Structure 1
Amino acid sequence: MGEFELIRQYFQPLASNASNDQLVLGPGDDCAIQRVPPGRDLVFSVDTLVEGVHFPPHYAPSHLGWRALAVAVSDLAAMGAEPVCFTLALSLPEADSDWLAGFAEGLSRASQAFGITLAGGDTTRGPLTITIQVHGTVKAGQALLRSGAREGDRVCVTGPMGNAGAALDYLEDPEPGALKRALLASYHGPQPQLKLGASLAGKASAAIDISDGLLADLQHILEASGVGAELDVASIPMSDELRQLQGVRALDLALTAGDDYQLCLTIAPETLAALPAPVREQLTVIGRIVPEPGLTLTGAPAGYQTQGYDHFGRSD
């Protein structure tokens, strides 16, 4: 199968998965064209997934299609943006029709679920590598940044921590039970917090999606904002499945494991109290911002190290 036939058969259909009037021109020309409405800012981000680094070899292609788009779209959620379109650059060791069909199916389901349209891309031969760039828009001046946390703000997260990290232990299990399947679902099918992120645009003072672990990603907010934080580890939300399967290790996974793609955000207490109940009830307060730089954990085991995943092995 040639490159253009591959694109026509497996990826061209994704160009009509979500209708929007901002994508003026999709696949077929040298460039796509996006029109940004008045009063909106363009928000875009790019993510690369490499086999053996970001997903295991021989990982199910349908799961990979969903994950590849979900992890990229999660960056839009962290900015409070609404998704518009994405581009896909795909390096393949070979044009395997069964693999392509599964990958395209997972990607198609994700694009429909997230309301985002394929705008174009490229394919080439090489080690399995997936690069996705996502575009979205947000009301002008309302994007959530990492640099806005202020003393007294509450630190919140949007869902349970550690499930996806724990799932790595069970990826090769041929017959996982119900508890393991619940954790595996978090890894195979991450859910970007798009609606919640958009509802917090202009309200939260800072935000980030949790890809490398809660502590590591919160540290990015603290460094960008020039502040510190105190966290109550007893408040960290964890699923019953994580607690039952991992025991004392559950806390470590909740604090340092990546791939949850929940949001970590900071918000002034009076703003938090004024949020509509359906929004406020999705947030769990786990700490507060303090003026002194650093990250303090209350109730953590002695000598606990505040480290998360780093692609090049550095400890922050």
Structure 2
Amino acid sequence: MEHFPLFYKEMLVFFNDCKKNKKQFYLNALLKEPLWCNKNFMYKNKPIFFHNWLRSGFKYLNDTVNENGIKPLEWFDDKLICKKNWMCEYMIIKTVITKTFKSYEFSNIRYENIFHGNTSYDLLCKGHVKVCDINSKLIYEILCHEKFIPPLHQAYYGKVFEITKTAWKSIYEQKILSIRDRSISEFNYKLLNNLLCNRELLKKWKIVENDFCVICRDAKENNEHLILKCKNVSHIWDIVKQILKFDISWKTIVIGFYYENNEKTLFLNSIISLIACKIYKYKMYCRLDNKDEKPQEICNHIKSKLNFYTEVYTKIQDKKYAKVMKAIKDKL
């Protein structure tokens, strides 16, 4: 372990922490399990069910236990509506719960009456949590739940574009999950998390001496300049603005339309992301192959992709959006 890299040491520590916390997850989840008709609570190989106890408000394991196990017999005396055969039923419940308590340590759990509806354990599953053996998938879910930190650039965009924390789920759905083309989804993810290559980043890594755009010369090349403001691409966005009939800002390109989730917003996010993606990829292609970046070549590259998408929209009988794409292609 002395020569083990620090990263792997930390991973082992987190893994062991999660194994400890896994039991706590299941203990709390078990207390919120229904007591009746539940395969986790069996008597003579059959789930238990006592109608009078259910009518009296005893629905979950948590309603009948405390840190010492099942609550004493006297505690139920004035709470049961009907006491017919209740002592025998109490002994059966006690036997089942005692068996359960032998497998779990309940001394550190808070015992409160629970309520209907969603719980914090929806992270693990929907509905009732099944008590099962530990597995790697659960360990990973607990690790994500406990150690997840929102991407750093998310906070930056949130401040610059005035986006609330709750809006990010919708943004990721609209810009990544809903986009049918996986290459565009990947591009959007990198854009949202500032993972695209540009000269500003290359200078930071000390790969280039300056961060000025090689085309414009007088402007620093960040993601915004690379995709939106560079002289080689600004005319493309002017054409897109004319066809779509609204202004396209850097905010529109990065986070798109996320207030509504419908066919129109999906199309607008797709077409804007498609053009931004193809501009970026062509520029990177030129740099990797040491080719001169020409405005008309960028247009031709975008036109070839628009032509493909126009055919797709035509085949699925969406002529309205196919017409918009064809209009942009013809203008370019």
- For the aligned pair, the TM-score class normalised by the smaller chain equals under 0.3
* Larger RCO (CA under 8 A, 6+ residues apart): 1
Larger Rg: 2
Give the TM-score of the pair, scaled to structure 2: 0.24
TM-score, normalisation: structure 1: 0.25
Higher strand share: 1
Q: Which has the higher helix share?
A: 2
